[in-house]
Structure 1
Amino acid sequence: MKKTLLGECLAEFVGTYIFLFIGFGSVEALVAGGSNITWGELTLTWGLAVTLGVFIAGGVSGGHLNPAVTLALAVWNGFERRKVIPFIVSQLIGGFAAAASVYFLCRSGILAFEQAGGIVRSADSGWGSAGIFSTFPQSGLTLFQAGMVEMAMTAVLMLVILAVTDSRNGAAPKLGLAAISIGLTVMLLGTSFGAMTGFAMNPARDFGPRLFLMLAGWGSSVVGPHYYGLIVPIFGPIIGAIVGGGIYHKLIVPYYPSAVNASEKEESREQIAS
Structure 2
Amino acid sequence: MSESTPAAASPVATVSPSLGARLAAEAFGTFLLVFSVAGTAIYAAGFNGGHGGLNVGFLGVALALGLSVVIGAYAFGPVSGGHFNPAVTLGLATAGRFAWRDVIGYIVAQLVGGIVASSILLWILSGAKGAKGDFLTLQFKGASTGYGELSPGGFGIWSVIILEIVTTAFFLYVILGVTHTRAAAGFAPLAIGLTLTTIALIGIPVSNGSFNPARALATAIYGGPVAIGQVWVTILAPIVGALIAGLTNRALFDGSRKS
Tell me the TM-score range normalised by the shorter chain.
0.7 to 0.9
Asked whether the equivalents of residues 23 and 106 of structure 2 are also in contact (C-alpha less than 8 Å), the reply is yes
Q: In the superposition, relative to structure 1, how do residues 15 and 132 fare at CA in structure 2: closer, same or farther (>3 Å)?
A: farther
**Counterpart pick for 1:163 among 177, 184, 188:** 177
CA distance in 2, matches of 1:20, 1:103: 12
Amino acid at match of 1:42: V
Asked whether the equivalents of residues 34 and 118 of structure 2 are also in contact (C-alpha less than 8 Å), the reply is yes
State the 1:22 CA deviation. 1.4
Partner of residue 57, structure 1? 76
Structure 1: gaps of 5 or more residues: 266-274
State the 1:145 CA deviation. 2.2
Amino acid at match of 1:220: P
State the 1:174 CA deviation. 2.6
Asked whether the equivalents of residues 70 and 193 of structure 2 are also in contact (C-alpha less than 8 Å), the reply is yes
Partner of residue 237, structure 2? 236
CA distance in 2, matches of 1:53, 1:119: 33
State the 1:191 CA deviation. 1.0
Q: In the superposition, relative to structure 1, how do residues 192 and 140 fare at CA in structure 2: closer, same or farther (>3 Å)?
A: closer
Asked whether the equivalents of residues 155 and 244 of structure 1 are also in contact (C-alpha less than 8 Å), the reply is yes
Structure 1 or 2: more helix by fraction: 1
**Counterpart pick for 2:24 among 7, 10, 16:** 10
CA distance in 1, matches of 2:59, 2:219: 23
Give the secondary-structure state (helix, strand or coil) at the position aligned to 1:49: helix
Amino acid at match of 2:204: G
Matches within 5 A, 1:78-117: 78-109=97-128, 112=130
**Counterpart pick for 1:205 among 205, 215, 228:** 215
Give the secondary-structure state (helix, strand or coil) at the position aligned to 2:18: helix
Amino acid at match of 1:142: G
CA distance in 2, matches of 1:133, 1:88: 22
State the 1:153 CA deviation. 0.8
State the 1:6 CA deviation. 1.0
Asked whether the equivalents of residues 22 and 49 of structure 1 are also in contact (C-alpha less than 8 Å), the reply is yes
CA distance in 2, matches of 1:105, 1:132: 16
Asked whether the equivalents of residues 34 and 218 of structure 2 are also in contact (C-alpha less than 8 Å), the reply is no
Asked whether the equivalents of residues 141 and 220 of structure 2 are also in contact (C-alpha less than 8 Å), the reply is no
Amino acid at match of 1:46: L
Give the secondary-structure state (helix, strand or coil) at the position aligned to 1:33: coil
Partner of residue 26, structure 1? 40
State the 1:38 CA deviation. 2.9
Is 2:197 aligned against 1:183?
no
CA distance in 1, matches of 2:119, 2:70: 22
Partner of residue 151, structure 1? 165
Amino acid at match of 2:230: Y
CA distance in 1, matches of 2:127, 2:185: 44
Partner of residue 250, structure 1? 251
Asked whether the equivalents of residues 62 and 201 of structure 2 are also in contact (C-alpha less than 8 Å), the reply is yes
Structure number with greater Rg is 1
Amino acid at match of 1:53: G
Q: Count how many residue pairs are aligned between Structure 1 and Structure 2.
A: 236
CA RMSD of aligned residues (A): 2.4
